[in-house]
Each structure stands twice: as structure tokens, then as C-alpha cells.
Structure 1
Amino acid sequence: MNNKIKKYLKEAVILMFVLAIAMNIISYYKSLDLNKDKLDITSFTLLDKNTFIISKAKPLLLHFWATWCPICKLEGENIEKISKEYEVISIVVQSGSDEAIQNYMKEHNLSFKVVNDKDGIYSQKFNIKAFPTTFIYDKDKKLRFSEVGYTSTFGLYTRMLLIK
């Protein structure tokens, strides 16, 4: 019986490794069409109607998501954690009214900065086709990283530290 458990554990580890590689390949493929230009936006109007001015001296994590996206729900806590230490702007797409989004944020204990992309202006500008999609810009607003799909808290912290 012990040999069977070892065999299944070994197969599970191999499967997880293969899945991780496949997910990274898919993410890379999906990110090929994203806007790779230098960030030319200097401010955003947030959900709470405040204006957020992008720092010229700090890296920026720009995160596109939707309230109806199950992967985005899983990733929300990761974005929340990283937003406590780094400059993060999240852009919520196809997710309803400001009030509906505020209710979603409250229900899921999220407090990061949110822009409601009601008209799809930002999602078109960045050529977003799937959610979640994350961009990381250096302090000069040059794109250093982009990913389509789930990103762990550890992965986000590591990428932010590498471009600092």
C-alpha cells in the first residue's frame, strides 16, 4: 500500500509540474497581443471619484479584472496584499455600475484602488482579451512584465522586487 501512495504522489507532482509549464506557455501566448508601449497615462479617476496621479518615481502594477471572473476572485486577495506595499491600480471591466463594484469590493474585503472601465476605453487601449491580465511597469513607465491569467502573491512580489 505504501508503494501505491508513493506512486500516486509522484504522478501528482509530475502532473502539477506539467500543468504549471502548460499554463505559463498559454499565458505567454495570450500576452503576445497586449499593448507593450510605454505607459502614457498620468492619472486615473477611481471608483470613489478621486483622481489618482501615477508616481513618476515608483513601479506600477496595472491589473485588469472582472467581478464575474472566477480566477479574478481567487486572485483578488493577492492584489489586495501587494497593494499594501506597492502602487497598484486595478481596472474592472464589464462589471456593472460603480455601486455594484463597490458592493463586490466590500463583500470580498478588498480595498485596492479601482477604476470602472464602463466604456471599455482602457481594455481596448491595452488590448485586453481575457481576465485577469496584469502589467508591471518600472519607475520610468516602461513595461517590464505582462501576464494573462492567475498570478500568485509570491510571483507578484518577486516581479515587483526585480524591477525596483
Structure 2
Amino acid sequence: MKLQLLGWAKQLAIFVLLAFIITGAVDVWRGKDVPKDNVPALAGTTLAGEAVDLAELSKDQAVVVYFWATWCSVCNFVSPAVDTLSEYYPVVTVALSSGEDLRVKKYLQHNEYSFDVINDENYDLGRDWKTKVTPTILIIKDGKVKWYTTGFTSLPGIWWRLMVS
């Protein structure tokens, strides 16, 4: 029995290592077009009426930038983590092609999300940032991309990226 558990543990370790390698390679490939040093402007007004300027916000602190959509099924798993994180760290979220402001507000209210949202109804910010996959999460510090990931990401994964930025 002990030998069998050791075999399973070894297989699990190999699986986890391969998963990290594959997801890392996918992020590198998907992020090849994302501007790293001269990030596009990300300024606007949230649905709550607050002004957001990423360049100013990211001076001397890491900021989570979360591109998501109401129609994105994976975002349903990532958004709760971003919502929790937004209580403790600066977070800028952008709803991509998710409809009019009222529709996005209702979605946020229905899901009980409290993070601030810039509604990119026409995908202008998404195009500027060359966002091709939802969800996309970037960690920006001093106006530069420190981390980039797409698809499913956990709360510990986002938190870890913030800590090493």
C-alpha cells in the first residue's frame, strides 16, 4: 500500500510539473503581442463613476488588471478570486464586449461582485491591449507588465504574482 501511494504521489508531481510547464508556455505564446514596457493607456470611468488612471495607480505599487466578460464561462471561476483580492489590493477590471452599462451592473449585482469595472462595450481597450483571451490578468507596476496570464487562475496564483512583483 505504501509503495502504491508513493507511485501515485510521483505521478501527481509529474502531472503538476507538466501542467505548470504547459500553462507557462501557453501564456508566453498568448502574451507575445502584449506590450511589456510601454503599456497602452488605461484610463476611464468605472460604472460607479470613479476615475481610473492605471499609469498613476501603478506608480510604486503592483496593480491587478483583469480583462473579463459577462459571457466568459472561465471568468465565472476567476472573478470571485479577483473580487476577494480587490478588497486588499488595487484592481482595475475591464468588462470586454459585455453590453451596455446597465447590463454589466446587473451582472455584477447578481453575482455580488464589488470590484470596480470599466465597461469596454466596443472592445476599444481590449484592442489597444491586444487582449485575445478572457480572462486575462496582468500585474502592472511602474507602468510595466510584470506578469501576464490567461485562462483559469486561482486566488493564490494571483496573490503570488502580486507578491513577487
Under TM normalisation by the shorter chain, which class is it? 0.7 to 0.9
1:114 corresponds to: 117
2:160 corresponds to: 158
- Over the aligned positions, Cα root-mean-square deviation in angstroms equals 2.3
Query: SS at the partner of 1:79?
Result: helix
Q: 1:59–1:141: 8 Å Cα contact kept in structure 2?
A: no
Deviation at 1:35, TM superposition (A): 2.2
Q: Are 2:84 and 1:81 aligned?
A: yes
What is the CA–CA distance in structure 1 between the aligned matches of 2:120 and 2:6, rounded to whole Å? 49
Deviation at 1:25, TM superposition (A): 1.8
Aligned residue type for 1:73: N
Q: What runs of 5+ residues in structure 2 fail to find an aligned partner?
A: none
Q: Which moved more, 1:74-83 or 1:8-17?
A: 8-17
What is the CA–CA distance in structure 2 between the aligned matches of 1:145 and 1:35, rounded to whole Å? 12
What is the CA–CA distance in structure 1 between the aligned matches of 2:65 and 2:47, rounded to whole Å? 15
Equivalent of 1:98, from 94, 97, 101? Answer: 101
Aligned residue type for 1:62: V
1:123 corresponds to: 126
Deviations 1:120-148 (A, max 9, x none): 1111111011111111111x212111112
What is the CA–CA distance in structure 2 between the aligned matches of 1:38 and 1:85, rounded to whole Å? 26
2:51 corresponds to: 51
Equivalent of 2:64, from 55, 61, 66? Answer: 61
What is the CA–CA distance in structure 2 between the aligned matches of 1:21 and 1:125, rounded to whole Å? 28
What is the CA–CA distance in structure 1 between the aligned matches of 2:72 and 2:36, rounded to whole Å? 24
Equivalent of 2:144, from 130, 142, 145? Answer: 142
1:70–1:84 CA distance, 2 compared to 1 (3 A): same
Q: What runs of 5+ residues in structure 1 fail to find an aligned partner?
A: none
What is the CA–CA distance in structure 2 between the aligned matches of 1:49 and 1:65, rounded to whole Å? 19
Deviation at 1:17, TM superposition (A): 4.2
Q: 1:27–1:148: 8 Å Cα contact kept in structure 2?
A: yes
Query: SS at the partner of 1:136?
Result: strand
Q: How many residues align?
A: 161
Aligned residue type for 2:147: F
Deviation at 1:22, TM superposition (A): 2.0
TM-score scaled by structure 1?
0.84
Q: 1:60–1:141: 8 Å Cα contact kept in structure 2?
A: no
What is the CA–CA distance in structure 2 between the aligned matches of 1:42 and 1:127, rounded to whole Å? 13
TM-score scaled by structure 2?
0.84
Q: Are 2:30 and 1:30 aligned?
A: yes
Deviation at 1:42, TM superposition (A): 6.4
